[in-house]
Structure 1
Amino acid sequence: MSSTSSENTLQNWGLLIALALVWGSSFILIKRGLMVFSPGELGAFRIVAAGTFLLPLSLPRIRKLNSKQIQNLIIVGLVGSFIPAFLFAKAQTQLSSSLTGVLNALTPLFVVLIGSIFFQSKITIRNAVGLAIAFIGVTILVSVKEGSSFGDFSDINAYAFFVILACVCYGFNLNLIKHNFVELKPVEITAISLLMVLPIALVFLMAGTEFSYKMVSADGALLALTYVAILGILGTAIALIFFNKLVKTATPVFASSVTYLIPIVAILWGVWDGETLLLGHYIGIAAVILGVWIGNRKKLKS
């Protein structure tokens, strides 16, 4: 293994772990924000916070782009940030933060499926085996409920499909970034794509919700706003820069593997918040980690 290859491998795994910690914590922040704000208010302010934070980076760079790049970045802003922000907030009105984090691990499956259908991407047997094992782990985690390590799926309701739809959006986003933005830096992709959807989020937040009223009248509004601001700045703006860098330096499948680690962090936060961790959770987590290791073992040796 060359020195450059070794450095890239360490960098990629460092980014993967950091993103898992940040995004795994996002679900508890959403849960706290929903104590005051509606899903629409939370999703919109998350985008406003992230886009505003990155204005010093996005405004000077947008003038250098051509119309085709701007059009693609609008799509990235919508499917990679804007739409999922609303979907996850809506889902967590009826799903626990830990279960939402687990369902988020379906993203790599949609990355592979969408990549093969629309982007002529290929998947190796090792990738497929790793994905299958990790998916089994996710299935176990989803099926576990109080009173049984391997329960039925009665706890999953229609709100789970909001998370699945967000995963579909992420699948398109990862493939778009990998195939359409070879010439752009990760910070440019993140900052400008958020700038493209910032006006939409701001107009909706101010004109289409009770956000302003709640800020001056609702108990705990400032604390809830702080949680969502952290979610937007750290969990969306900064994390997306790191993630887009990972997508450009690694494979889409490797980058999306962060969603296999996110459930571990999300479940630990859930336990801290009073949720129960059963034997099935440990088995599911072990399967998820094993799947990630098998699916990316060749990457480690390159």
Structure 2
Amino acid sequence: MKNEQKKWIYLIILSLVWGSSFILMKKALISLSPIQLAALRTIIAAVFVIIVGHKNLKKIKKRHWKYIVFSALVGTFIPAFLFAFAIKGIDSSIASILNSLTPFNTFIIGALVFGFAFQKNQLTGILVGLIGTIILILKGADLNPDQNYWYALLPIIASIGYAFNVNIIKKHLYDLNALTITTGHFILVIVPALVVLSFTGFFTEFELNSETKPALFYIIILAFFGTAIAKVMFNEMVHISTPIFASSVTYLIPIVAVIWGIIDGEKLSLIQLIAGVIILFGVWLVNRKK
């Protein structure tokens, strides 16, 4: 399969998987704290990835490790906690919408920090997508005036981390395959995640009962599909496309997340649906060839 076709398949799959991850986090938070959710998600995903990819660690050279450390922190470890706390404070669909700022941040950081050149149509597409995102945010605030929108800062910070991550992979880790990079990430974060989880009292106070069993099930699904497999797939997509294309998956994620939100009783207006169409148009502009 050609890379041109493969990158679009990855984009669609990741949109579905990551778009569904927000409702899984919301359900898991019914029985677990945000810290427990993020730490468990990281640990379970790390176990899966390390079992499959540990042989690839020998491919990582000394010069790679400093970039893998930074990439693991800003692209995997810290965002897991930021989104867990965000979804505790605002609707899962709104958190996913705010994540759509990632392509915009990728463009700015890629140009200013990493020296990547972008086409004019990519900037236009990002701005169009950003307009759609702003409409969704403002309308979401109108529909949910009782929610604390200071939590909205957390997905925005995470989107900046994702933007750094995708540019780091493209510029400094281009000679490592996706599984190797992902394994390097998780070999670094599994121990800190275990330490953080231990401080929550999880290992001494957690009880498996009718309320916590579903939460653990949601986390396992989230960790396996939404973190382990999706991370490998995303890192591969970065390799075969551009940073802007890879980060544009965050423009499609809210559409899936909003649908799940509606099913779960979250509010959605006609204006938000129109904003979703605007976002899709922005994605098309970003990836349109001259």
User: Which TM-score bucket, shorter chain as reference?
Assistant: over 0.9
Deviations 1:190-229 (A, max 9, x none): 1221111111111221x21122245326651121011011
* Equivalent position to 1:266, from 239, 251, 257: 257
Measure the CA separation in 2 of the matches of 1:204 and 1:115.
32
Measure the CA separation in 2 of the matches of 1:11 and 1:145.
34
Measure the CA separation in 1 of the matches of 2:279 and 2:32.
33
Alignment of 1:62-81 (within 5 A): 62-81=57-76
Instruction: Kindly provide the amino acid, as one letter, of the partner of residue 183 in structure 1.
Output: D
Measure the CA separation in 1 of the matches of 2:48 and 2:87.
25
| Superposition RMSD in Å | 1.9
Deviation at 1:152, TM superposition (A): 10
Deviation at 1:102, TM superposition (A): 0.5
Aligned to 1:201: 193
Measure the CA separation in 1 of the matches of 2:148 and 2:160.
18
Aligned to 1:255: 246
Instruction: Kindly provide the amino acid, as one letter, of the partner of residue 181 in structure 1.
Output: L
Preserved CA contact (<8 Å) 2:21 2:222: yes
Aligned to 2:235: 244
Aligned to 2:125: 130
Measure the CA separation in 2 of the matches of 1:131 and 1:153.
28
Distance 1:62 1:152, change over 3 A: closer
Deviation at 1:183, TM superposition (A): 1.2
User: Percent of aligned positions with the same letter in both sequences?
Assistant: 39
Deviations 1:96-129 (A, max 9, x none): 0010011010100111111112101122110011
Deviations 1:162-203 (A, max 9, x none): 111100100100000000112100111112211111111112
Structure 2 spans left out of the alignment, 5+ residues:
none
* Equivalent position to 2:215, from 209, 219, 224: 224
Measure the CA separation in 1 of the matches of 2:71 and 2:53.
14
Preserved CA contact (<8 Å) 1:62 1:192: yes
Measure the CA separation in 2 of the matches of 1:133 and 1:173.
23
Measure the CA separation in 2 of the matches of 1:33 and 1:293.
34
Measure the CA separation in 2 of the matches of 1:290 and 1:227.
32
Tell me, what secondary structure is at the counterpart of 1:288? helix
Aligned to 2:13: 18
Aligned to 2:164: 172
Aligned to 2:277: 286
Tell me, what secondary structure is at the counterpart of 1:276? coil
Preserved CA contact (<8 Å) 1:127 1:296: yes
Q: What TM-score do you get using the length of structure 1 for normalisation?
A: 0.91
